[in-house]
Structure formats: C-alpha cells, structure tokens
Amino acid sequence: MALTDLTVHELQALLRTREISSRELTLAFLKRIADTDKHIGAFITTCEKTALENADRADARLSAGNAAPLTGIPLALKDIFITEDIRTTCASQILDNFIPPYNGTAVRKLMEQEAVLLGKLNMDEFAMGSSNENSAFGTVKNPWNRECVPGGSSGGSAAAVAARQAGATLGTDTGGSIRQPASHCGVVGLKPTYGRVSRYGVVAYASSLDQVGPVARDVEDCAIMLGAVAGYDPADSTSINLPVPDYQAALKQGVKGLKIGLPKEYFIEGLDADIQQTIDKAINTLRELGAETVEVSLPHTEYAVACYYLIATAEASSNLARYDGVRYGKRMDDGRGLIDMYMKSRAAGFGPEVKRRIMLGTYALSSGYYDAYYLKAQKVRTLIRQDFLDAFNHVDVILTPVAPTPAFRIGEKTADPLQMYLSDIFTIPVNLAGTCGLSVPCGFSRDGLPIGMQLIGRPFGEETILQSAYAYEQATEWHRHSAPL
C-alpha cells in the first residue's frame, strides 16, 4: 500500500514513531499530484517549495516530540482560503493574480500545527455552483468516472481526497458545497454548525450561510480536521464562544439508543432508485447497530431552494461589490471615468454564474422589491429553521440522502440554471437552519458512482453525527474503496 493511500490517523502514527518523515510523505503526495492531476484538475496552484519547507519544520518538531495532531500531514485547501504569499484565485479571473497579505484563521491554525500545505484546490467560481463547471481554471473530473462532475462547489477538495492527492482538505459549504461533492466522490465531508469555525480570511459568498469544514478519507480524519480548525475567533464576530470538544474521543460511543429521524419530505417518489435502495440499506445497518428510527416531518422543505436562491444571491451581490478594480484584482480602464472602470472590470472578471447571482441578488435587494423577495425569504428561513428545531425535540440525528442523484455527467445541467439549483434540495435546508450535517459514503450506484448519506445534527451537535457516522462506517466497507486512478 502506498503512503498516499493511508488515512491521516494512520499517517500520524507513522510520523510520530519516525517510521516515515514528513518530507518523504510530502514528496509522495507531490508525486501523486504530478502523476494524476492531469486527469482530475483538482489543483489550481501547487506549492512544492513551501510544502517541503513546511515538512522540514514539521520533521524537526516531530523529532523533538511535541507534535500537534496535524504536524507533518500534507493537506490542501479550497482556493477560497486566503493564504499569505500564495496566490488565491477563488477560481475567478478577477482574482487570478491575487497574492493575499495574510493568512485566514483556519489556515493560521493549521500552520501553527505545522501541517504541510500542498496547494490550492479548484472550485466553482466564488463557491457558486454544484458541479465545479463554473471554474475559470477548468472543470474538475470525478475520480470515479472522469465523464462525471465531482460536485461543487468544493469539487477540488473532494476529488483531491478521492484521488489520494492530499491527506485531507478543507472546503466551504454555503448550500451543500462540502457534503454534495463528498457524496459524489465517495469521501466524508462535514459542514459544521454556523459559528463553529471562523470565517476570517475565507472569501465571502453568502455570509449568513458560509461555513468552513473538512473533507477527508474517513470519519476519524474528519473529526481530527474539525478539532484543528474549530473555535471562537475574535476576528469573526459571528463565531461562537463555546468550548471545542475532543471530537476524536467522542467517536466510539456508538449509536445504541440514539433516535434517528427520517424526514418524510426527503423520501419522495421520483428519488433516484439507486439512492433510495442504498439509503434504505444504510438505515437498516444503523438499526442493527442499535439505533431507533422514527419518521419526522420538515414541512417547509419544498421552499428551501427558493428561499436559498434569494438570500444567498442577495448576500453575494453585496459581498462581491468589493471587486471593483481598485484595491486588488483585474482592472479594465479605457479612460472613461470611475463608474465605467468598475463596470468593465467586473464584466471582464466575473464568469456567467457569478454575474447571474449578482444580478438576481441585486434585483432582490433593489428598491420596491426588497419586501417581496429578500424579506419574504428571511421569513421563510425562520419556518425552515423552526422545522429542524421541532424535529430535534424528538430525535438526536436526522438521516437523509445528500443529493437526489449520483454525480451527473459534465455538461448535463449547464444549460438550465434552475435544474442545477434544484440538485441542492437536500443540503440547502441545513445551511438555512444554521445547523451541522455530514456526508458519509454508503454505497454505489449501478454505474459504480459513490453515494453518500447525510446525517444532520442539532446546532453544535457535531459529536453526535460524527459518532453515528463512525459507527456506520466501522460496520461497513465503503470507505475502503478507492477510485480507479
């Protein structure tokens, strides 16, 4: 077995006993990226030189015997995390030469542990998309079937883990952007509760929904990664000042006696047959492990996509106003004045999906339409959030599919934005409710594409969904399958 096939917790042990060095491990991952990424396109930028410098510092710390959990572990980051002196593009032309002057909080925490940064990962431009087809740096291919999308927007983060190009990665999730690609690529992805991880130094898309989270080979790796980045940050006033539990220690508590809710609105006629069968089997496995399952109702589910596409685009139109060709980014100026410079710079720098969302959001916030669209959506958001709080009065975890179908073909949904938006129907409600959810592999379609199940927890209930996912994973073999590459 190659070093790159091992999980973070397995690598941790080898590094600490000094059976391998971080330099050796880093070189193995860099070679794996060089050998495979021409087929996948997960990386926008690789940082060979700084990665090896990181690795040497990590080796010194490992030899000194004061290693942190991620010391010496090669990781990669969605190109939405700003990284000091390392180009950060957000997969957009408008930032294609942007060199951030500082590290964001999650990055700083990883660097303080002396983790190794291999590079920056491809994504949908400004995290807007469900397929990674909206990148200015090319579409990422799904490692399980290169004619299919990896999902999005953290498609590079999921594909890189599935292709064993990094030990683990970080992504961001605004409407499913960690969970859906994790499901499509057969890896584990967790969206923490809003406020659990600092958003400082993460390029903003929709600030009331964006959250940072890990994508990893298995549940234990996910727990280690979450523990490394979670916590209150004075630089993000929406982060919550609650202690960070030991997520790894919580894993082994099992599911005996846990109550798992199955929302009837998610198990609808027309759900892909492979998804239905796979999820049914997973439910049975959890029952055999001692969990109790009950039907619950989340009655406003069918309104979530409409609600999301008003709130997210409104916030995006405001957040993306900063790309004006003044302080950073592309400038197009033909001497016709300031406003003209703004309009041409933005038109040249943004791709079609970003323009579409800025336009929709600007309209929803514009004079005369604010109450009908934005305010209405915020009220519906209250109803959706209340659905979850009510359900969690009766159950500990909610189990659903992650996506209505397995990974679709590249190009299949690009002509119809609304169809693409509807592919996020099972993940969006969690962001609107602000709670946590993860995707864990639970089988394959007839065509050999991975399928994930979603476990949703109470706000700040990450331990419970991780422990449930861990119990399921340990009882099954899905996480041991590797993409054919």
Partner 1 sequence: MKINREQVEHVARLARLALSDTELETLTGEMDAILDYVEKLNELDTDHIVPTAHAVPVENAFREDSVGASIGSEKALQNAPEASDNCFVVPKVIE
Catalytic residues: 78, 153, 177
Phi, psi dihedrals of residue 396, rounded to the nearest 5°? -95, -30
- Cβ neighbourhood burial of 182 (10 Å; 0-12, 13-18, 19+): buried
Which residues pair with residue 122 across a beta bridge? none
Q: What CA dihedral angle connects 339, 344, 350 and 354, to 10 degrees?
A: 50
SS3 104: coil
Residue with tokens 């994930």: 452
Find the shortest distance in angstroms from Cβ 230 to partner 1. 14
Find the shortest distance in angstroms from Cβ 94 to partner 1. 11
Site string for partner 1, 166-205 (x = CB under 8 A): ---------------------------xxx----------
In this chain, which of 38, 269, 418, 477 binds partner 1, going by CB under 8 A?
418
Q: Is 410 in the site for partner 1 (CB under 8 A)?
A: no
Number of residues that bind partner 1 (CB under 8 A): 72
Find the shortest distance in angstroms from Cβ 135 to partner 1. 19
Which has the closest alpha carbon to 437: 191, 246, 211? 191
Which residues have C-beta within 8 Å of that of residue 380, sequence separation ≥ 6? 300, 303, 306, 307
In this chain, which of 24, 356, 404, 414 binds partner 1, going by CB under 8 A?
356
Cβ nearer to partner 1, comparing 362 with 476: 362
Q: Is 330 in the site for partner 1 (CB under 8 A)?
A: yes
Q: Is 51 in the site for partner 1 (CB under 8 A)?
A: no
Stretch that binds partner 1, among 13-21, 178-186, 215-223, 316-324 (CB under 8 A): 316-324
How far is residue 64 CA from its own chain's centroid? 34
- Site for partner 1, residues 440 to 469, rule: CB under 8 A: 459
Please tell me the total number of residues recorded for the chain in this structure: 485
Q: Is 383 in the site for partner 1 (CB under 8 A)?
A: yes
Q: Is 267 in the site for partner 1 (CB under 8 A)?
A: no
Signed CA dihedral, 75, 78, 84, 89: sign only = positive
Q: Is 297 in the site for partner 1 (CB under 8 A)?
A: no
In this chain, which of 63, 97, 284, 297 binds partner 1, going by CB under 8 A?
97
Find the shortest distance in angstroms from Cβ 375 to partner 1. 6
Cβ nearer to partner 1, comparing 61 with 344: 344
Q: What is the secondary structure of 9-57 as a DSSP string?
A: HHHHHHHHTTSS-HHHHHHHHHHHHHHHHHHH--EEEE-HHHHHHHHHH
Find the shortest distance in angstroms from Cβ 387 to partner 1. 12
In this chain, which of 5, 102, 256, 295 binds partner 1, going by CB under 8 A?
102
In this chain, which of 24, 363, 404, 481 binds partner 1, going by CB under 8 A?
363
Q: For residues 98 and 79, is the Cβ–Cβ distance under 8 A?
A: no
- Site for partner 1, residues 334 to 353, rule: CB under 8 A: 335, 337-344, 346-347, 350, 352
Distance CA 205, CA 202 (A): 9
Distance CA 261, CA 465 (A): 12
Find the shortest distance in angstroms from Cβ 107 to partner 1. 15
Phi, psi dihedrals of residue 198, rounded to the nearest 5°? -65, 140
Q: Is 362 in the site for partner 1 (CB under 8 A)?
A: yes
